[in-house]
Amino acid sequence: MTGFPRHARALEALEARGRRRALHPRAGHDFASNDYLGLAGSELLRAAARAALDRGVPVGAGGSRLLRGNADEHERLETEAAAFFGAGRALFMGGGFQANMAIFSALPLQGDLVLHDALIHASAHDGMRLGRAETCPFPHNDVTAAEAAIRTWRANGGAGQVWIAVESVYSMDGDFAPVADLMALADREDAVLVVDEAHATGLWGSAGRGLSHDFADRPNLLTLHTCGKALGVSGALICGDAALIDTLVNKARAFIYATAPSPLNAALVRAALTEIALDNPLRNRALGRVKTAHDLAARLCGLTGLQSQILPVVLGDDKRALAVAAALQDRGYDIRAIRPPTVPRGTARLRISITLNVSSDTIEAMIRDLAQVLETVPA
């Protein structure tokens, strides 16, 4: 008998609604990970790890960056990342969630406005809750509504800095943000555009530099590039104006009080960045798989409007999403159901991820099986 009956009842309620989460081992063909370029288990990164260890790169940092945890590998990575992404400075942090919390808790000040896309990541919301700026959502990808919100805020006396927060590729819908239009809005309204490039880095934009890379020289652009998706490692790089990066070093509690990322991890991110800068065939193969998946999904399942490597199959009902996922898992595919609160109520879905960890033949077999399962699992 549990000593925490209220928690037990809450878990039972989640179970009844089809929303209880649990950890499961990896099994089946990979249609669930964010390892878009197949680098996570690659010989490239294994060789980079061996080489780094052989030259004495430590596994652990031993402390925060502001104490003894600041290693040469961290600084080399930040220098190389700033050059690669075309930014004034870069800051390496332990992960994207931590980095978003740092950005939104430390950079927007009291009297400022954070205007964010309604589908922005949970980590940005958590950062905003810790910050002192006013916050306001705008409808997904609606630049006109965002502009109206800024003007309304200013008409009502808002006089601080406006920060426009978006993702370039949305993690649950797989669609692209209208980055060029948002950048133009930021320029017109003297705002800062904050772009989370997590699902674009390594795959989209010039040499995988992200969808905002065309505007990398703008001082009013701040970007976040996570290292645990297409780069195959872990951590995150915040790239932008030197004053903003230095403010994070001085003010962001998620940076100041956290043990630094492993120097070995920094060395592996350096190797991944070098690979995506040089190996266009790797990226081209991945984009070819994405196109194959789009064509098959449209022809066999009637899924249209797909844009990226993330294929959402919106089923609506939580339990149906679980049932369809389970049926596909039984056929050998690692496909997971995504339910509220990760996605809005009534939009439970499969989130199918296309990576280089599966062949084109496996992608075709999966989509054929998906079409059959959707017909057999009742709505």
Q: Which residues are catalytic?
A: 34, 121, 167, 171, 196, 199, 229
Please return the burial class of 33, using the count of CB atoms within 10 Å of its CB with bins 0-12, 13-18 and 19+.
middle
Q: Which two tokens stand for residue 17?
A: 């609604």
Q: How far apart are CA 359 and CA 259, in angstroms?
A: 39
How many CA atoms are closer than 13 Å to the CA of 311, on its beta-carbon side?
27
Strands 162-167 and 113-117: parallel
Q: Three-state SS across 148-178?
A: HHHHHHHHCCCCCCEEEEEECECCCCCCECC
Q: Which string of DSSP letters, residue by residue, matches 297-357? A: HHHHH------SSEEEEEEESHHHHHHHHHHHHHTTEE-EEE-TTSS-TT-EEEEEE--TT
